[in-house]
Structure 1
């Protein structure tokens, strides 16, 4: 299997680490807030029968630079394009989950010619139209037991008992504090509502109905706002539906990404 690692340069000069694995059509996988490419470790292999997977470390994470400048989902989207340019990928499928789904919205809306098919998982349009987590959830995540609380919001107790970890979706522990704050601000300030109708790529929206980090009501909002979009909700799934419900979730995504080939 082909593997490629390197760095792209963002417009401001920041070095952005990327990882490409496999052969075939490019599939960009975008991780959640304050996470690096390891977020996708359990899942990316599910797509290598038809795609090469491209991950990246957001600025502030992993092997990418960690500038103390402004962070935004629009800026992260520009970084994605810088990685695609470095790899010579003109058009890719894009699958973003959590904050990665917010970033993917901007990639698809601002660069429609670069996105063939779009998958948005456990995410939100943001702004006044998005349905945000409750203040109770925010307080728990800011408290002394935040790590355990986050794991509980990502996975059901039964799945955690059967899969004791370690989990690669609970944040990059090497992030400096300014980058953690920057990622939080970027996610909180995301608002793509006005540009969602510009998305030209066929879109699949996925969500768990027991997701308190990004409430499931956002799935319908996205599917209704984006042209040629449809949604699937996983009963009983929490935020990390893509891992806990992996067989079904990965099959749905793989089928969606390949169905256009038969048209």
Structure 2
């Protein structure tokens, strides 16, 4: 794309991808903001049980609008393939799933954003991620769910903007 400077803001699965990219040094982002993202998912994590119950038809029922957007924006859409890859990531325990200990390799500023009422990512999970990366910041928002970017952008975006302003200052 020819960008000289860029940052990555990723929510949920996008946050996992952002963490993996920054940890691998495949890209050199100016910053990463990971919102509602796991960095590991232990076998006994309650989110794993939620992920195991999701199938393609259930996803279509819950997020049909997102699938329509995906199909419209992609020249060769294959939602079934995307869903299988996402499921593999959610339930995986290897380096193809969560970045795990490799997050310690992240060298850019990291903001970990967590909703205190997130049903997928625990407060402990968010705290531990912030502790793994030198200089990382943690934003824990009370009364916020996993969908906090959609539910309360007016509360979240000022914090994201402040974080990015401190990076470029």
Question: Which bracket does the TM-score occupy, shorter chain normalised?
Answer: 0.7 to 0.9
Tell me which of 19, 39, 54 is aligned to 1:141.
Answer: 54
Secondary structure at the aligned position of 2:117 is classed as coil
Give 1:191 shift.
Answer: 2.7
Secondary structure at the aligned position of 1:141 is classed as coil
CA contact 1:112–1:201 (8 Å) conserved in 2: no
Unmatched runs of 5 consecutive residues or more in structure 2: 72-76
Secondary structure at the aligned position of 1:221 is classed as helix
Unmatched runs of 5 consecutive residues or more in structure 1: 1-86, 152-165
Secondary structure at the aligned position of 1:178 is classed as helix
Partner of 1:115: 29
- Check if 1:213 corresponds to 2:127: no
Secondary structure at the aligned position of 1:96 is classed as strand
Give 1:187 shift.
Answer: 3.5
Matches within 5 A, 1:190-201: 190-201=97-108
Partner of 2:83: 180
Structure ranking higher on relative contact order (CA contacts 8 Å, 6+ apart): 2
**Rounded Cα–Cα distance in structure 2 between residues aligned with 1:169 and 1:221:** 32
Secondary structure at the aligned position of 2:34 is classed as strand
Matches within 5 A, 1:54-133: 87-111=1-25, 114-128=28-42, 131=45, 133=47
- Check if 1:244 corresponds to 2:158: no
**Rounded Cα–Cα distance in structure 1 between residues aligned with 2:68 and 2:53:** 15
Which entry has the higher C-alpha Rg, 1 or 2? 1
What is the root-mean-square deviation in Å for CA atoms of aligned residues?
3.1
Give 1:103 shift.
Answer: 0.6
Q: Deviations over 1:5-47 (max 9, x none)?
A: xxxxxxxxxxxxxxxxxxxxxxxxxxxxxxxxxxxxxxxxxxx
**Rounded Cα–Cα distance in structure 1 between residues aligned with 2:81 and 2:143:** 35
Partner of 2:74: none
Q: TM-score, normalised by structure 2?
A: 0.78
User: Whose strand fraction is larger, Structure 1's or Structure 2's?
Assistant: 1
Work out the number of aligned pairs and report it.
Answer: 160
